[in-house]
Structure 1
């Protein structure tokens, strides 16, 4: 019977190495040698396959014999080291070309940090150069052991003049070499000295002072022990999907483009996940790059709900003081309503309900609107749809077939359809109404016009008082 080798930890699992295509360039005229070498290797392989050095037939290895005999395998007796198994009380090393995983071992524990669960952190990026410093500071601030986190980036559909990919390579290299904090601090100091500030940054002077102070404190020392440590691995993928909708706030949130945009986003998420997910990942954490602040312990905080397979926090955003200081941001996390079901029944098969828009009156209960500032952060409610800003899910959810529909599924697409599909397949989806993540504030065109009018009014008052 196969038994677990308890001397190995999940951190012993080798990081997947990239495969590079072999060169097809010919080096001189070596054609006559190739058939000879091939023939010799073939004879050698046949010899090794059927005979040992004494001319006897090779006995099957214990591992192959166990498989051949259809031995029942207990999930609690398999080593998490993919190249080592214990058979009849003795540890046996498997060849490097053979890996064994019992996926029952990677279920995603609520105390994953102490169980050394390996996390896959997925971050899609598009025209994200400006927010990368913020994103990396948030990543470094995560208290989940960095040695247990694999990161996968997908850079897609960026503008020709965008430098997201180049900046990402620079920052990831610095992160893994332990010099990123120094790089980010030096860049920040250089910006302060230059005094460069665009007209689109005028809104900063209209933000709530207390919130701005909280943001500064979030990125100031003292830092925790994991802060500057490298992560277990980082992979960067590039793939375009034909996304031509602009990245401005008004462009992205126009109701007319939501169906098309979200289906393309679903396709991007699925490509990233299918390339990055490994058999030893227990959890998958999806996170947007433009989160401004979130608790460093967010992974541990979300995974501790053992009865839930998909968990999301509440997502709000700050506003300028003249707009009320703050507002709910992610309205894609919700509980289904009878009005919503009725609306879906009256729509076409390919129509996509866009939650939070007056064109689609669903009267659903949104996670964002049941938030209480001093509410219990451990309170959790069942959800049907989820937003994509911050999603933690057990890896088994995806292995069983749940994905981000890049088509209309139950009149939804992407993350909202993901929530519906997860529920349909028997998984439990939950949200934390009083646990808040703060998204960056992106001024809309109307907001910028209001700020421009107020700035002109200030100048007129200064001129009047000066005269």
Structure 2
């Protein structure tokens, strides 16, 4: 194999080709090229300096620009401005103060890997929040974001609003809350809205479930949204981005609609498209972490980011457990997110019996996988530092090193190993060599969304109460 600049030996040429040596050697030609290039550079510099009007401060004819001269794989970078020409190459990387003048950004991605000391190191987090018909839960979302103790000036927030119903005001309220939060006025705004809502009183059976939740849970929720607040609470975040794009999602947002087994495959694939669109648009090279968060979380520890990051020496993706409260007549509480699991032999055998495009959905009798679910190995008294390795993950709360996405993992918007979206993300990420962890006893709480049957039972209980009062 010939290297650049080498001449082939005569024996390397075909027999029919007549080889005649050049009059000058390569070394001689290179010397001539360098001399010529140097003379040309001097002429250009003199021309720029001596051009009429160049010394007139009131009418500078030299615009700010960057001139890059490449010669024999050597890169020379010149900053050409009205103040003159400055060689900023040195080792090929300009000083920090010169990067802005050049309008060139340099990133060594080895510096953005994410580790347990990320908060102390000043590592930046991208918080991704997909939203759809989320107007009602936005106050919860923003209060939980403000409650994060990870330095707010290290968190970039990226919202994606998509496929909202006609008349929904998610975009309007999201914009209003975002501006108020960045101005330090959101707490006052939310408290004012809460007081106004309380003054109206509860109306309709859709809100009556609050009377039937466990008393200790209701008290915990009240405490979570009451002062005193930590010092980061009202501080603005590093940035807020709001994106709007529809993906053709027509499945309703009601509990029964979203959890119908018939629509799960279609729904998950569309959600995968939305997540991929958001991460592709918002991820920057300076992000060390990506935190995916659903809007309908009711309570979550303020230091959740720091806690999940503690396991990053051994794992690249970390998820907490997700439960939800239930009315007392249904048992007080139950596991919510069943998409975080450990693969089983039964699950693998089931996949072999399905068509290539079929999507396995956990928690449905049609798909008996017998996997170990993170949600079901939770204990109230369990060690919050206990960790288990997972194969699938749920999307309610996912902390991932940014390099996982940079190296190509995503949320498949197609059937991948008979899974889609977050569970397929788990499978794909593991196949790429990354490790996924779940914390069975570290719990965040999803809001309770009453089903139609629940609402009917609540209505029956309310009628029963009224009869007793009348008697």
The residue number in structure 1 matching 2:46 is: 53
2:377 to 349, 355, 370: 370
* 1:157 lines up with 2:163 in the alignment: yes
Please list, as runs of the form range in 1=range in 2, the aligned pairs for 1:293-372 lying within 5 A after superposition: 293-305=299-311, 306-372=313-379
**For residues 66-465 of structure 1, what are the structure 2 equivalents within 5 Å?**
68-69=73-74, 87=91, 91=95, 93-94=98-99, 95-305=101-311, 306-463=313-470, 465=471
> What is the deviation of 1:193?
1.4
SS in structure 1 at match of 2:269: helix
The Cα shift of 1:97 comes to 2.6
Return closer, same or farther for 1:362/1:88 CA change in 2, 3 Å cut-off. closer
Q: What whole-Å deviation, never above 9, does each CA across 1:139-191 have from its counterpart, x for those lacking one?
A: 00000000000000000000111000000000000000000000000111111
The answer to whether the 8 Å contact 1:109/1:115 transfers is: no
- Separation (CA, whole Å) in 1 of partners of 2:42 and 2:278: 39
Question: Any stretches of 5+ residues in structure 2 without a counterpart?
Answer: 1-39, 50-65, 77-87
Q: What SS does structure 1 have at the residue aligned with 2:252?
A: coil
Q: CA deviation at 1:263?
A: 0.2
| Residues 64 and 288 of structure 1: CA distance in aligned 2, closer, same or farther (over 3 Å) | farther
Which TM-score applies when normalising by structure 1?
A: 0.82
Q: Distance in 2 between matches of 1:234 and 1:67?
A: 45
Q: 1:198 deviation in Å?
A: 2.5
The Cα offsets for residues 198-232 of structure 1, whole Å up to 9 and x where unpaired, read as 32001111111111000000000000000000000
After superposition, give the CA deviation of every residue in 1:90-139 in whole Å (9 maximum; x if it has no partner).
Answer: 83613343111111111112211001100000000000000000100000
Flag the 1:226–1:52 CA change in 2: closer, same or farther, 3 A: same
TM-score (norm 2): 0.82
**Counterparts of 1:67 and 1:328, CA distance in 2:** 64
Change (3 A) 1:320 1:273: same
After superposition, what is the alpha-carbon deviation per residue over 1:435-460, rounded to whole angstroms, capped at 9, x for unaligned? 00100000000100111111112222
Counterpart contact for 1:85–1:93, Cα < 8 Å: no
Contact 2:131/2:295, CA 8 A, preserved across alignment: yes
**Separation of aligned partners in 1, 2:411 and 2:71:** 38
| 8 Å Cα contact 1:319-1:327 kept in structure 2 | yes
State the alpha-carbon separation in 2 of the partners of residues 206 and 291 from structure 1: 19
Unaligned runs of 5+ in 1: 1-46, 72-83
CA contact (8 A) 2:68 2:75 kept: no
1:365–1:70 distance in 2 versus 1, CA, 3 Å: farther
Please give the alpha-carbon distance, in whole angstroms, between the structure 1 residues aligned to 2:257 and 2:41: 64
2:384 aligned counterpart, secondary structure? coil
* Equivalent position of 2:29 in the other structure: none
| Alpha-carbon distance in 2 for matches of 1:67, 1:230 | 49
Which deviations, in whole Å up to 9, do the C-alpha atoms of 1:51-79 show, x marking residues without a partner?
Answer: 213579xxxx99977994499xxxxxxxx
Query: Residues 331 and 366 of structure 1 are in contact (CA less than 8 Å); yes or no, is this contact kept in structure 2?
Result: yes
Q: Helix, strand or coil for the counterpart of 1:269?
A: helix
Alpha carbons of structure 1 residues 65 and 434: separation in structure 2 relative to 1, 3 Å: farther
Please identify the structure whose Cα radius of gyration is greater: 2
Alpha-carbon distance in 1 for matches of 2:216, 2:434: 40
Higher mean C-alpha displacement, 261-270 vs 90-99:
90-99
